Amino acid sequence: MNPALGPLWLDHVSENRSVFGLLRDGNLFAFIGMVAHPALALLAGLWLVARKPTAETIIAVAALALGMAMQLFAFKTFTYPAWLAVAPAAAVAAILFETLKSRILALGALTAAILSPVAMAIGSTILLTTIPGSAGKKFEQPEACLATASYARLASLPPGRVLAPIDFGPAILALTHHEVLSAPYHRLQTGMTDAAEIYRGMGKSEPTARRLELAYLVDCDNDTSPETAGWLLESLRIGAPPPWLEPIPESQSEPLRLWRFRFDR
């Protein structure tokens, strides 16, 4: 993958962020919610290995340790240690079942071990969606810019290829008959880098847009997406567009402001 996609897009995708990013964002409780269950299960597994180092136990604990290492570097892998933690947790619960006098208490421990990944998933989801800054991206799109109704005017225009923030790509494809230059999909990395060149390239912007035969540009109010940063949107927002872009007047008071590429000037 093109390294340039890191700061443009991939570094801001929540599922690819490191769990340590929660600590950097000040979300200590979310961090604990993500790692506590597998960490405790790993300690239980190490105790099992020390107690009776069978091949099966060693493999199970090693798999859990690997899953935890993966989780620390990418959110999207958190389900692996969550479920791999069940085995050592259940094994310890079974030992407790044999040794504790209270069968009810032991049965509760076994049930907790089995259901702990579910509790972890629910808890982590709540934490990650309610604590500010935990969603991963450094910006927030106004809700109106992703509302279905906001795409009606764009859908009414003749078909063409659209330059828009990466996250708008799926909505444009689903709600209009247009093509998009970029969307949040790694196989479209050429389109993402081309879009960044248009937004930032100054002298290269027009030749690139002309080569790609772009028809429309979509701008969302207050959008600060990393890939759209640059002179082009700044010029549009202060009312000083380049000569090869013209506003679509009816859209300028709507959540999605539309511009038409004009290469005949």
Q: pLDDT tens digits for 46-85?
A: 999 999 899 999 999 999 999 888 888 777 787 888 888 8
Residue 49: Cβ-neighbour burial (10 angstroms; 0-12, 13-18, 19+) = middle
* Whether residue 65 is found in the same domain as residue 172: no
Lowest-confidence pick of 36-50, 122-136, 154-168: 122-136
At residue 4, the pLDDT reads 55
What is the mean pLDDT of the segment spanning 176-188?
A: 86
Q: Which residue has the higher pLDDT, 33 or 127?
A: 33
> Which is it for strands 179-180 and 214-220: parallel, antiparallel or unpaired?
unpaired
Could you say which of 130, 158, 184 is where a domain stops?
130
* Residue 13, pLDDT above cutoff 50: yes
What is the mean pLDDT of the segment spanning 19-26?
A: 70
Could you say which of 73, 108, 130 is where a domain stops?
130
* Residue 123, pLDDT above cutoff 60: no
Give the gyration radius of the chain's Cα atoms. Answer: 25
* Whether residue 102 is found in the same domain as residue 188: no
For residue 207, count other CB atoms closer than 10 A to its CB.
13
How high does pLDDT run on average in the chain? 79
> Which is it for strands 161-163 and 179-180: parallel, antiparallel or unpaired?
parallel
Q: For residue 177, what is the DSSP state?
A: S
* Whether residue 108 is found in the same domain as residue 23: yes
* Whether residue 55 is found in the same domain as residue 154: no
At residue 182, the pLDDT reads 87
* Whether residue 251 is found in the same domain as residue 182: yes
At residue 85, the pLDDT reads 86
- The answer to whether residue 136 is domain-embedded is no
Name the pLDDT band for 133 (thresholds 50, 70, 90).
very low
- The answer to whether residue 138 is domain-embedded is no
- The answer to whether residue 160 is domain-embedded is yes
* Whether residue 112 is found in the same domain as residue 28: yes
Domain total in the chain: 2
* Residue 91, pLDDT above cutoff 60: yes
Using a pLDDT cut of 90, give the percent of the chain over it. 28
* Residue 12, pLDDT above cutoff 50: yes
* Tens-digit pLDDT profile for residues 209-265: 999 999 999 998 766 666 667 788 888 888 888 999 999 999 988 989 999 999 876
* Whether residue 119 is found in the same domain as residue 177: no
* Residue 201, pLDDT above cutoff 70: yes
- The answer to whether residue 3 is domain-embedded is no
Name the pLDDT band for 34 (thresholds 50, 70, 90).
confident
Q: Which residue has the higher pLDDT, 18 or 207?
A: 207
* Residue 127, pLDDT above cutoff 60: no
Name the pLDDT band for 141 (thresholds 50, 70, 90).
low
* Whether residue 115 is found in the same domain as residue 147: no
- The answer to whether residue 11 is domain-embedded is no
At residue 160, the pLDDT reads 96
* Residue 202, pLDDT above cutoff 80: no
Domain that holds residue 247: 143-261
For residue 95, count other CB atoms closer than 10 A to its CB.
16
* Whether residue 219 is found in the same domain as residue 155: yes
- The answer to whether residue 64 is domain-embedded is yes
Q: Distance of CA 87 to CAs 45, 77, 83, 174, Å?
A: 8, 18, 8, 43
* Whether residue 98 is found in the same domain as residue 152: no
At residue 6, the pLDDT reads 54
